[in-house]
Amino acid sequence: MAELDLGFWIPILATWVLAIGTLAFAYWQLRQNQRLHSTTTLLDLRDRFYGPRMRQARKTLSAWLVQPDRGEEPDNWEVSLFFELLGSLTRTRNLDKRLVRKAFGTWVTGYYTFITKPVDLIGQWRKDGNDPLIFADFEWLAKYIIEEERRLAPGTEFDRSLVEEARYVLLGESQLDAN
């Protein structure tokens, strides 16, 4: 029987351990960079959301949405388009879902609730445009946030409080100072 040659096997084993350790460290660094990039992007989106142009768009849309007799739709749907972008970035995992929920959850669910109630405008636009993907990522994000909050607050009258909270949020939005 051949004798085990440690002088041959130890360097090979050490090389493998070093290679695996290097790959593990590189993966860890990549994950940290992804988290940092997600956070930075989210902060940039918050700056955009609080900017004067978006504040004016939020004020206009929310004022229209809370009216019992809405009348003619506003021309500017920049808020919904912003939430569509946010949903797309979240759905593709470019943004962390938990951070998005914490940073924008109240607004996403507030606007989504009134865009879909009492009349489902998204469904209507999809039907009129013969396009089932209109605001699909906004809808996905809103439903994710609603389900996550329902999961975190079990046993509450969540659906009723969701509408009440949405009304409260949009009434506040309708009184924003656009500056």
The one-digit pLDDT tens for each residue of the chain (179 residues) are 456 787 888 888 899 999 999 999 998 888 888 888 888 989 999 999 999 999 999 999 999 999 988 888 888 889 999 999 999 999 999 999 999 999 999 999 999 999 998 889 999 999 999 999 999 999 999 999 999 988 887 766 656 688 889 999 999 999 988 66
Judge whether 179 lies within some domain.
Answer: no
Distance between CA atoms of residues 75 and 155, nearest Å: 40
For CA atoms 177, 108, 64, 157, give the dihedral sign.
negative
Domain count for the chain, please give it.
1
Judge whether 1 lies within some domain.
Answer: no
Distance between CA atoms of residues 174 and 172, nearest Å: 5
Distance between CA atoms of residues 18 and 126, nearest Å: 55
Q: What is the pLDDT of residue 158?
A: 59
Judge whether 66 lies within some domain.
Answer: yes
Show the domain range for 159. Answer: 6-173
